[in-house]
Amino acid sequence: MQITSKLPEVGLTIFTTMSKMAIEYQAINLGQGFPDFNTDPKLQAFVSKAMAEGFNQYPYMAGVAELRNVIGEKVESLYGRHYNIDSEITVTSGATEAIMAIVLASVGTGDEVIVLEPCYDCYLPAIKLAGAKAVCIPMLVPTQERRTFQVDWDKVKSKVTTKTRMLIINFPHNPTGAVMSKDDLDQLELLVQNTNIMILSDEVYEHIIFDGVSHLSVATRPALAERSFVVSSFGKTTHTTGWKIGYVCAPKDMTVELRKVHQFMVFTVPSVLQHGLAAYTKDPSTYLDLPAFYQKKRDRLADGLAKTRFNVLPSPGTFFLLADYSAISDVSEAEFSIWLTKEHGVTVIPVSAFYAVPDAAESNHKIVRFCFAKTEETLDRAIERLLKI
Ligand code: PMP
Ligand code: GLN
């Protein structure tokens, strides 16, 4: 039976495609972003305990109270904003469901949603399914002087129209690792003041940020928080990307609408995982220790790559780093990523896949993304292979 596709341009995601290829060619998978090590045994024990104690039925639609409590305390202590746990915090099936539910709940036909490219893969399909129009604005690409991607706020400003209803941002940023600066927050505040633009702030890497810098959440600014959905995910924070537990903090009126969609997309998310995460996350070291943990891995991969023909770009946050391969090849990023998997046994992600039009001039760079959420042994084995190129 033929279906008229609502997403005709969508195929398998680049992450699934590259992971499949890594398996097929027995390559070391530094592509899709997931840890290749286990989560903390303490967290596993909390989840097992919750299961044995019988937390196996539908939990409350918006999330287990203990978990919303822990999230509320964490956000208030780190970002200084109080979110009411009953009316402003919602536990979701990962950040992915959160993003889909937010977009479906808040924009529609005739609305424009600004996204910054390169952008994470689930934003554009969500906007399209909502019937709204995505307005893609490329970030400034790295130069000799400025080595990281950066938001071009003048360009963003020039694309705001009376139809602009939402701006989606993501810091620390996948795939570039860029982090939010105070100046970015100032610019954002100026941009949205006296408008009815909502912000979807995807902060899933909030606890993976390096070199002593602290994450600047939009929740730290009252003028931004009052119009923002702040999204995060325990998958990144507790090395459990397969559990799909995320959350959204947003003002009450916005949360009411989000929950209307959430309750019919999934109704609620696994009870035992929520109870386990609540008990575990009560200890702030479970997220405060992450920068040091991941910085060691970032440095190990960056130091190793520095001895190869790749040119490493700085990674101030996330568990990804970018490297330029123009000294090795001038083929496209997609072709290079396939070649690297097949011929050298290391899988990466082409950054061009994070653009609506992968071959557009904006993505005319020669950069691939490496994931360093891996054991030292995995990283060392990958470096060994890359040194031979
Ligand atoms: N946003 C970004 C920027 C991501 O990198 C990811 C996934 N890794 C998600 C959202 C989705 O998170 P989750 O796995 O919790 O759905
Ligand atoms: N966020 C992960 C990445 O960027 C992938 C998650 C997924 O495959 N959906 O690699």
**Cα distance between residue 244 and residue 172, in whole Å:** 19
Among residues 39, 12, 4, 10, which one has the least CA distance to residue 235?
A: 39
For residue 96, how far is its CA from the centre of ligand 1 (angstroms)?
Answer: 6
Q: How far is the CA of 226 from the centre of ligand 1 (A)?
A: 23
Note the pLDDT tens digit of each residue in 33-43: 999 999 999 99
Strand bridging mode 311-312 / 246-249:
unpaired
Q: Quick check: 363 pLDDT over 70?
A: no
Q: Measure 273 CA to ligand 1 centroid, in angstroms.
A: 18
Would you say the CB of residue 170 lies under 6 angstroms from ligand 1?
Answer: yes
- Per residue in 198-256, pLDDT (tens digit) is 999 999 999 999 999 999 999 999 999 999 999 999 999 999 999 999 999 999 999 99
Pick the CATH number of 42-287 from 3.40.640.10, 3.40.50.300, 3.40.50.360, 3.30.420.40: 3.40.640.10
DSSP 222: H
- Please say if the pLDDT value at position 380 is more than 80: yes
Task: State the pLDDT at residue 207.
Answer: 98
Handedness of CA 189, 190, 191, 193 (dihedral sign): positive
Alpha carbon 67 to chain centroid, angstroms: 21
pLDDT at 94: 98
Q: What is the pLDDT of residue 364?
A: 79
> Closest ligand 1 atom, CA of 244?
15
* Protein residue with its CA nearest to atom 8 in ligand 2: 15
The ligand minimizing its distance to the Cα of 174 is 1
pLDDT in the model for residue 183: 97
Q: Can you tell me which residue has the tokens 């330029």? A: 324
Angle formed by the axes of helices 94-106 and 252-265, nearest 10°: 110
pLDDT at 360 over 90: no
Average pLDDT over residues 62-81: 98
Pocket test for ligand 1, best of 169, 200, 236 (most atoms within 8 A of CB): 236
With beta carbons less than 8 A apart as the criterion, state whether 368 and 337 touch: yes
- The domain locations on the chain are 14-39+288-386, 42-287
Q: For residue 148, which phi and psi values (nearest 5 degrees)? A: -120, 160
Domain 14-39+288-386 class, CATH top level: alpha beta
Q: Where are the beta strands (DSSP E) in the chain?
A: 28-29, 89-92, 112-117, 133-138, 164-170, 198-202, 228-233, 246-249, 311-312, 320-324, 346-347, 349-350, 367-371
- As a whole number of angstroms, the distance between CA 359 and CA 81 comes to 41
Give distance in angstroms: CA of 59 to centre of ligand 2.
Answer: 27
Q: pLDDT tens, 307-318?
A: 999 999 999 999
- The answer, yes or no, to whether residue 75 has pLDDT greater than 70, is yes
Question: Is the confidence at residue 139, as pLDDT, over 70?
Answer: yes
Q: Coil, strand, or helix at residue 212?
A: coil
Distance (Å, whole) CA 64 – CA 91: 8
> Residue with the nearest Cα to atom 3 of ligand 1?
174
The predicted model gives 97-105 an average pLDDT of 98
Helices and strands, counts by H and E, the chain: 15, 13
Is the pLDDT at 144 greater than 90? The verdict is no
CB 111 within 8 A of CB 132: yes
Average pLDDT of the chain is 97
- The reported pTM is 0.97
pLDDT > 90 fraction of the chain, expressed in percent and rounded: 96
pLDDT above 70 for 362:
no
Q: What is the pLDDT of residues 159-186, one digit of tens each?
A: 999 999 999 999 999 999 999 999 999 9
CB 37 within 8 A of CB 239: yes
Count other C-beta atoms under 10 Å from residue 69's C-beta: 15
Distance (Å, whole) CA 138 – CA 304: 30
